[in-house]
């Protein structure tokens, strides 16, 4: 059980650019049959999605799961609101952090863990413009260092 295969379906790189990720949680998603089949084919987007805690439950909005081609009448709305499956204690902790410290809940990635569809969510704090500039500068420095290392390695 410990070495279950994890297959990445969707990744949200923009979340790491726009937020400092403080904590990560793994949650299940309440889905219908054709949605699972569509996810297995890798048809999912979480770029525009966001999350809310309502009445002790966590919901994900704007998570686009393309309709399954062979699903016909069983297909659901691709952008419907989906419930996330978390422990009550985790939900209380998340809701407390969001109300007191001004954190946001963002989806980080969707993946298959064994036969189950999971979503990794992050408790995040928004970055200011200067934070983003610092990150970009660090990336550029690292890239430049790698480039110079490659060039120096080829000359010898």
pTM: 0.73
Strands (E), the chain: 6-11, 19-29, 44-45, 50-54, 57-61, 64-65, 82-85, 104-113, 116-126
Residues of the chain with pLDDT > 70, as a percent, come to 93
DSSP 74: G
Q: What pLDDT does residue 138 have?
A: 85
Dist CA 34 CA 109 (whole Å): 20
Distance separating alpha carbons of residues 65 and 43, to the nearest angstrom: 6
Residue numbers in the chain where pLDDT is lower than 50: 1
Residues contacting 54, CB < 8 A, separation 6+? none
* Pairing of β 44-45 and β 50-54: unpaired
Q: What are the tens digits of pLDDT across the range 77-121? A: 778 888 999 999 998 888 888 888 878 889 998 898 888 889 999
Structure confidence at residue 119 (pLDDT): 92
């Amino acid at each position: 059980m410990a070495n279950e295969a994890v297959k990445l379906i969707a990744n949200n790189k923009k979340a790491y650019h726009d937020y400092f990720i403080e904590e990560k949680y793994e949650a299940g998603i309440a889905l219908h049959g054709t949605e699972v089949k569509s996810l297995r084919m890798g048809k999912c987007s979480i770029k525009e999605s966001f999350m809310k805690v309502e009445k002790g439950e966590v919901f994900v909005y704007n998570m686009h799961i393309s309709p399954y081609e062979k699903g016909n009448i069983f297909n659901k709305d691709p952008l419907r609101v989906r419930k996330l499956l978390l422990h009550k204690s985790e939900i209380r902790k998340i809701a407390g952090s969001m109300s007191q410290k001004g954190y946001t809940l963002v989806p980080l990635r969707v993946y298959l863990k064994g036969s189950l569809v999971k979503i990794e969510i992050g408790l995040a704090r928004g970055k200011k413009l200067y934070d983003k500039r610092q990150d970009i500068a660090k990336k550029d420095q690292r890239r430049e260092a790698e480039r110079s290392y490659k060039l120096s390695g080829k000359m010898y």
